[in-house]
Amino acid sequence: MEKWEYKIIRLEVKDLIKGWINKKVDTGSEQLLNGLGNDGWELTGIAPIGGGVGVWGAETSSYTFIFKRKKI
C-alpha cells in the first residue's frame, strides 16, 4: 500500500504577484515552487484565503498550496 506525506504552505498575494497593472509572478515564488517539484512534491490543490473587502469587492490576501509525495 502506498503511503503519502503532505506539505502545506501559505503564500501572500503580495509575495506572489508583482506590479499592479502588469501583474507578473514573482521569480522567488516560482523558484520555491520549482524547488518543491524537484524534490518530488506534486501540487494537489490551491485554496484562496480572504483578506477583506477592497475597492472591487472581496480580496484574496493569500493562497494555501497543498503538495503530496510518496513516502519513502
For 10, the domain range is: 4-70
**In degrees, to the nearest 5, what angle opens at C-alpha 12 toward C-alphas 54 and 36?**
150
Q: Categorize the per-residue pLDDT at 62 as very low, low, confident or very high, splitting at 50, 70 and 90.
A: confident
The position carrying cell 503511503 is 3
* pLDDT confidence of residue 60: 75
Q: Residues 67, 20: contact at Cβ < 8 Å? A: no
pLDDT digits (tens, 9 = 90+) for 7-49: 999 888 766 665 555 666 667 788 888 999 999 999 999 998 8
**Number of structural domains, the chain?**
1
φ/ψ of 2, rounded to 5, equals: -75, 145
Q: Which CATH number fits the domain that encloses residue 58?
A: 3.30.1410
Q: Give residue 13's pLDDT.
A: 73
Distance CA 17, CA 36 (A): 19
| Mean pLDDT of all residues in 55-67 | 80
pTM for this entry: 0.73
